[in-house]
Amino acid sequence: MLVINNLNKSFGKQIVLKKFSYTFKQGKIYALMGANGSGKTTLFNIIGNFLPVDNGNIAFKDKNIIGMPPHKVAQLGICRTFQNLRLIPSLSVVDNIYLAFKDKTDEKITTAFFGKASRPQYQEKINQLLITTHLDSVKNSLAKNISYGQQKLLTLAIAMANDFDLLLLDEPVSGVQIEYRKQISNILKQMNKTIILIEHNAEFIQDLTDNVVFLDQGKIIAQGNYQTIKSNPQVQEAYL
């Protein structure tokens, strides 16, 4: 699915990723762990081509994506969420989801608000997303007025509307109450998609996946389930 080979990235004299290589398999969930500055977010930015790479290769579905414009990467099926939520606070929950859909010409449906697209053709899928993400009861509320946990769920619903093949999640449960953490975990498990997430919440990670990759100073120093990671001496020195 996603094959990364010998990836290197520096900012000046600071090495952020060093000879990073890993294969992320179809339909699996992976958690990236590591201290702040270990290279996790930089890796996400490089996969999405928001940052250029110094050298190395990235292949997604057997296609080289190095140097590809971010919107082309997205069109291939890679969806990225950010730690800082990117919602439209003045629009309702349902309208935020609605805008995530693409029409047959591959343009965003912002045109719908000007009478150039038909909302009913998307309504069934929107309704299903609202139910799946437990947002049906607040669908007409403004995004700015729902709880932070619900805003995280809304971000997930928007990602699901894009019909991705690979989902990159940046701290999906940071600052979220346990009720919403459990909901997010269950939703991700049921997707049957390739998911890579950055997260520090150990309980959430243990419940979600056995595929944990631990980074330190831009290199993989441990991989396996959370208990294996936790007991690794290098990880204990670097993080725990």
Tens of pLDDT, residues 172-182: 999 999 999 99
As a whole number of angstroms, the distance between CA 224 and CA 2 comes to: 18
Between 16 and 103, the higher pLDDT residue: 16
Shared-domain flag, residues 239 and 206 = yes
Domain termination residue (choose one: 163, 188, 211): 163
Domain termination residue (choose one: 163, 187, 221): 163
- Can you give the residue range of the structural domain that contains 42? 1-77+164-240
As a whole number of angstroms, the distance between CA 130 and CA 124 comes to: 10
Average pLDDT, the chain: 90
pLDDT at 198: 96
CB neighbour list of residue 71: distance below 8 Å, 6 or more residues apart: none
Band (pLDDT 50/70/90 cuts) for residue 111 is low
Domain termination residue (choose one: 163, 198, 218): 163
pLDDT at 112: 53
Write out 102-139 in H/E/C secondary structure. Answer: ECCCCCEHHHHHHCCCCCHHHHHHHHHHHHHCCCHHHC
Shared-domain flag, residues 62 and 103 = no
pLDDT at 122: 83
Tens of pLDDT, residues 57-81: 999 999 999 999 998 999 899 999 8
Region 107-127 average pLDDT: 64
Tens of pLDDT, residues 188-220: 999 999 999 999 999 999 999 999 999 999 999
Band (pLDDT 50/70/90 cuts) for residue 162 is confident
pLDDT at 158: 93
* pLDDT score of 109 more than 70: no
* Number of structural domains found in the chain: 2
